[in-house]
Amino acid sequence: MTISIGIISLAYCAGCELALISMKRFNELLARGAIDIKYSTLITDKEELEKVDVLFITGSIRTFEDVETIKKAYSKASKIIAFGTCSCYGGIPGLANLSKREDIIKSIFNDITPTISGLPELTRFVIPLQTVVKVDYSVPGCPPPEPLIEMLLDSLISGKEFTLPQKSVCEECPLNDGDKKPLKELRRRLIALNDIDVDKCFMKQGVLCMGPATLAGCRALCPSRGAPCIGCMGPLPSSRDQAADIIDALGGIFYTVEPLEKILEAIPDPVGLLSMFTLPYSTIPYHKEVGVKEVKRDGDGD
């Protein structure tokens, strides 16, 4: 039996697609004829998406063209997979939710209105696919880690359910020694990374690591290779706000830091660092000026 797959791409960098098609397991299945790529913007030369069994959607919704693409593709697949953090949680393009779309265009075109007609218009803010379209499976990661893609391919071929892990990166991390003492120091990540021991927990050396609030599945890829976790796998399935989770974790770990300003000095860009990949998916998904309507009160509280 051959499973036909299609890969469509919205606002993305082609990394997820590349991670999928460069995987050993995927190529084995392709060579055996178990999988057939019917449509992909990166590697096939087809104009239109035909009917497929499984549709991988990578990237978040940023323009009205993306909206149209989704509308056309949605009915053509029996299974839809949100592939990669961008389509699951908004990803790096989601940080554009900190600015209004007029300001984004202004900063790129520098006050000159683009004269080419037919450019797709930007949506009001970046939307993660999951929040507007019903997806069968979501596979986060930037790009999705190999063990997770393998699990997904196995489940597609055998017909079993695919489930995400239910634990955090710290539980998989080889640097985690289970010691839960409060810590006295938090430093700016870039400065601290010059003089740390890569064989010890990053948090213990005062470096912000997103491990406690990030979904496992990558087998602690970054921490075990000398870089702190930046949270690309998004929040745990039980939660929606990665930032809220990491703030709670930091409160529990660094409550003995004196003075308090040191914590803020170490995290100069809270939104960019604490919800780098998940801003459009979180409870407050945008800057107040982007998507909040303000209603003036009379003043007498009536």
Partner 1 sequence: MGLEPRVLAFTCTYCAYAAAEAAGVSKLQYPPHIYVIRLPCSGMFKSYYVFKALREGFDSILWSGCHPPYDCHFINGNYKARVKAELLKAYLKQLGFEDQRFRLEWISAGEPDKFARIAKEIVEEAIKTPKIIFLEHHEAVNK
The residues of the shown chain that bind partner 1, judged by CB under 8 A, are 61, 64, 67, 98, 121, 123-125, 127-128, 131-132, 239-241, 243-245, 247-248, 250-252, 254-257, 260, 263-264, 267, 269-271, 274, 280, 282-289, 291-299, 301-302
Q: Least separation, in Å, of the C-beta of 243 and partner 1?
A: 6
Interstrand relation of 61-63 and 122-127 (parallel, antiparallel or unpaired): antiparallel
Closest contact distance (angstroms) between CB of 4 and partner 1 is 29
Phi then psi for residue 240, to 5 deg, are -120, -20
Interatomic CA distance for residues 185 and 208, integer angstroms:
10
Nearer to partner 1, 180 or 297 (CB): 297
Rounded Cα gap, residues 155 and 149, in angstroms: 10
By beta-carbon proximity to partner 1, the closer residue of 225 and 297 is: 297
Neighbours of 227 (CB within 10 A): 15
d(CA 251, CA 275): 16
- Using only C-alpha atoms, the chain has a radius of gyration, in whole angstroms, of 21
Nearer to partner 1, 45 or 302 (CB): 302
148 vs 186, beta carbon nearer partner 1: 186
Do 84 and 130 form a contact (C-beta atoms < 8 A)?
no
Q: Cβ of residue 57: shortest distance to partner 1, in angstroms?
A: 16
Closer residue to partner 1, CB minimum distance, 64 or 74: 64
Taking the complex as a whole, the smallest distance from the CB of residue 203 to partner 1 amounts, in Å, to 14
Q: Which is nearer to partner 1, 45 or 298 (CB)?
A: 298
**Cβ at position 146, least distance to partner 1 in Å:** 30
Scan for tokens 């592939």, then name that residue.
83
Whole-angstrom Cα distance, residue 59 to residue 11? Answer: 5
Q: Which amino acid is at 256?
A: T
- To partner 1, the closest distance from the beta carbon of 269 in angstroms equals 7
- Among all chains, which residue has been given the structure tokens 């602690």? 220
